[in-house]
Amino acid sequence: MDILIFVLVLLVVVLVHEWGHFITAKKVGMRVDEFGFGFPPKLFSRKKGETEYSFNLLPIGGFVKIFGEDGEAGDPRAFTARPRWAQALVLVAGVVMNIVLAWILLSIVFMMGHQTVVETPSETTRLVITEVLPESAAARAGIPQGAEIQSVTAGDEIATLTPEGFRSFTETHTEILSVTYESNGDTETVSVTPEGERQIIGVGLALVDTVRLPIHLALYEGVRMTGAALINITVGIATLIADAVQFEADLENVAGPIGIVSLVGEVSSFGLAPLFTFVAFISLNLAVINLIPIPALDGGRLLFVAIEAVRKKPIPSAWVGGLNTAGFALLIILMLAVTYNDILRII
């Protein structure tokens, strides 16, 4: 199930990015030869007008094939035949669409209600398990992360459902506790015995409430949160690159496809709103990464367009092809390194 959700998330984020390139290229008069859903091998396709819409076997994204991207000539609607501003607009359109997608998703989260940690309990607050320590009493009892605590009892005594009340109750009761929780719509009751000098069961707790905003405030908060996240992600990636240049990069906080699959599973266990937030942050990460000036990425191609604008003539296609191949190889190496790190973490 986690893999299926991951594929759907990747599909949405990448297709939105490619749709930005596609629609903008059409609007500025470029010839779009193919819009691919998924990656080859091709299953079937349908041609509408001058564009072929293909459906491919690997459902992990999509692609847009614009005539003239590699320097072909002979058609005034080729990518390289259009004005530099049009080329730049097409290249940044994918990034813009990823940012717009994040804004829409975050705005929806604010409208549908997002869980916010609060300090003061009320009739609508809930005690939620934010972490379950490995090999703890809670883990052995099968209590999952994201579960909502319904009650904690010891005989006739009942714990106050706040983080402080929960901790105080486990510290003062050495006998078996009865913990009732709700997770994914199911209610379970398990027996747990506090252990250790501090009498704990091994969970992190937070008092949360659901806050819903009207549409105008949700759209505003969506913009604000998107902007703040975009700045933080940009700073984080820039720091990682700077550390990598000095051979000091720490990949512990970097997740590749395997790591993201596990993260999707954890996030989706908390509900739809956290999943939408996660997808928004994935989309913003894709936007920032695509603007890195590495050949084969949109940022690298933008750099070529800028250089050509200064030189007043195109870069030789052989150079462009070679640099794009080198950039693609570098991306593959980086992906393999991150994936290897994901596997080590799992082991």
Strands (DSSP E) contained in the chain are: 32-48, 51-66, 114-117, 126-132, 148-154, 157-158, 177-183, 186-192, 203-211
Q: What pairs with residue 53 in β-bridges?
A: 35, 46
Confidence band, pLDDT 50/70/90 cuts, at residue 339: low
For position 229, what pLDDT does the model report?
94
User: Is residue 154 left, alpha or beta, with left meaning phi > 0 and alpha meaning psi from -120 to 50?
Assistant: beta
Instruction: Give how far Cα 157 sits from Cα of 149, 170, 172, 244, 246, Å.
Output: 16, 12, 11, 56, 58
pLDDT in tens, 92-122: 999 999 999 999 999 999 999 877 888 888 8
Question: Do 179 and 272 fall within a single domain?
Answer: no
pLDDT in tens, 149-206: 999 998 889 999 999 999 999 888 878 899 999 987 889 999 998 888 888 889 999 9
Instruction: Give how far Cα 235 sits from Cα of 124, 241, 253, 257, Å.
Output: 37, 10, 14, 22
**Among 149, 83, 115, 54, which residue's Cα sits nearest to residue 270?**
115
Question: Do 187 and 257 fall within a single domain?
Answer: no
Which of 176, 191, 211 finishes a domain?
Answer: 211
For position 344, what pLDDT does the model report?
66
For position 22, what pLDDT does the model report?
95
CATH number assigned to the domain comprising residue 187: 2.30.42.10
- Count how many domains the chain has: 2
Question: Do 172 and 48 fall within a single domain?
Answer: no
pLDDT in tens, 221-241: 999 999 999 999 999 888 877
- Give, as one character, the DSSP assignment of residue 200: B
For position 226, what pLDDT does the model report?
96
For position 110, what pLDDT does the model report?
94
Task: Please say if the pLDDT value at position 23 is more than 90.
Answer: yes
Question: Do 165 and 301 fall within a single domain?
Answer: no
Residues spanned by the domain of 258: 2-113+213-346
- Judged on CB neighbours under 10 Å (0-12, 13-18, 19+), 246 is exposed
Which of 178, 211, 244 finishes a domain?
Answer: 211
